[in-house]
Amino acid sequence: MLRAGRHHSSATEELQIIPPSKLSVEGVSKSFRSASGNVLALDRVSLKVAEGEFVCLVGTSGCGKTTLLNIIAGLEKADSGAVLADGKPVTGPGRERLVMFQEPALFPWLDVFGNVLFGLKLKPNLTNEDRREVAKYYLELVGLSRFEHANIHELSGGMKQRVSLARALAPNPRVLLMDEPFAALDALTREQLYGDIQEIWKARRKTIVFVTHNVREAACLGDRVLLFSPHPGRIQEEFTVNLPRPRDINSVDLAAHATQITKALKSAGKAEAIAPK
């Protein structure tokens, strides 16, 4: 592309697959001041995520997973250390790295379509028709075309998570940060979403950092699984999951991996809340 000042991109162009980012977290520490004194949430955490890799973070409640995700997203500042995305330091939030939050974060004043459109409206160089087309594409991708004009409160928990996913995917980020997105769902809905997310990951080529409590879920989705240990939050161990995709959460091979990870956690004596479901 020549250096044409304001170049106009079309919906097809917008929907093109863009190369995912590589992430590098270098010695990030973060502590919080609270009533009960200082809490060291992250202690010199370093990790690398390759382009297009699916990495899962597993750890007990309160060990700093959300904090790390927020720092990668640029929503919080590390006390020391740095996060690099494609070699450039992350200084603030940006639509290259979108987040699916642990809490419900869909906007209740917009309908489903409006929510998916929100990030697209902030992208310059697109016409409104392009934006609508792109939003429709992602709603289709998560299987919710029929609900584009539904209000948020009319959706089931699983549908809400799908809309969140579509909203995060729509601006075509290079990195997707997912914070226990399926924790509140029943097992059946979750299984369905495991299939969906793998398919979407394959179709859209994203770098994904996925936080979960559920070891089996981590083994099902991740190329790699990183174990976090609490107080202070550190990466304790790392597992590579070399299973063909798409993976079935109920497969025997996967169970073997999950058992191995759980055992590692237990042997470290920190398995309180991480027993696989």
Partner 1 sequence: MKRFLLAAAFFAVLVLLWEAAYRAKIWSPVLLPSPSQVVTYLEGAAADGTLARATVITMRRLLIGYFIGLVVGLPLGLLTARWKLFGDTIGTLALGLQTLPSVCWVPLALLWFGQTEAAMLFVVVMGTLWSVIIATETGVRNVPPIYRRAALTMGSKRLHMWFKVILPAALPFIVSGMKQGWAFAWRSLMAAEIFVTILTGFGLGQLLHYGRELSAMEQVIGIMIVIVVIGLLADKIFFSPIERFLHRRWGTSQA
Ligand X SMILES: Nc1ncnc2c1ncn2[C@@H]1O[C@H](COP(=O)(O)OP(=O)(O)OP(=O)(O)O)[C@@H](O)[C@H]1O
Footprint of Mg ion on this chain (CB under 5 A)? 66, 102
Tell me which residue has tokens 């042997």. Answer: 267
Choose between 57 and 135: whose C-beta lies nearer to ligand X.
Answer: 57
Q: Contact region for ligand X (CB under 6 A) — 60-68, 82-90, 137-145, 219-227?
A: 60-68
Q: Contact region for partner 1 (CB under 8 A) — 118-126, 138-146, 255-263, 266-274?
A: 118-126
Among 94, 195, 246, 276, binds partner 1 (CB under 8 A): 94
Choose between 207 and 214: whose C-beta lies nearer to ligand X.
Answer: 214
Reduced 3-state DSSP string for 123-172: CCCCCHHHHHHHHHHHHHHCCCHHHCCCEHHHCCHHHHHHHHHHHHHCCC
- Paired strand residues for 228: 235
Distances (CA, A) of 144 to 244, 262, 277: 28, 35, 28
Q: Single out the residue of 208, 214, 222 nearest to residue 265, CA to CA.
A: 214
CA-to-CA distance for 148 and 87, rounded, in angstroms? 38
**Residue 18 touches which of ligand X, Mg ion, partner 1, none (Cβ within 5-8 Å per kind):** none
Among 127, 151, 250, 267, binds partner 1 (CB under 8 A): 151
Q: Single out the residue of 141, 160, 140 nearest to residue 151, CA to CA.
A: 160
- Per CB under 8 A, 95 contacts partner 1: yes
**Residue 41 touches which of Mg ion, ligand X, partner 1, none (Cβ within 5-8 Å per kind):** ligand X
Among 105, 183, 185, 255, binds partner 1 (CB under 8 A): 105
In the window 22-51, what residues touch ligand X (CB under 6 A)? Answer: 32, 34, 39, 41
Choose between 41 and 241: whose C-beta lies nearer to ligand X.
Answer: 41
Amino acid of residue 133: E
Angle subtended at Cα 237 by Cα 235 and Cα 241, rounded to the nearest 5 degrees: 120
Among 22, 30, 97, 257, binds partner 1 (CB under 8 A): 97
- Per CB under 6 A, 66 contacts ligand X: yes
Three-state DSSP class for residue 255: helix
Among 18, 53, 62, 82, binds ligand X (CB under 6 A): 62
Q: Single out the residue of 222, 218, 221 nearest to residue 265, CA to CA.
A: 218
Contact 225, 218 (CB under 8 A): yes
- Per CB under 8 A, 154 contacts partner 1: yes
Report the interface residues with ligand X, using CB under 6 A: 32, 34, 39, 41, 59, 61-67, 102
Report the interface residues with partner 1, using CB under 8 A: 73-75, 93-95, 97-99, 101, 103-105, 107-111, 118-119, 122-123, 151-154, 171
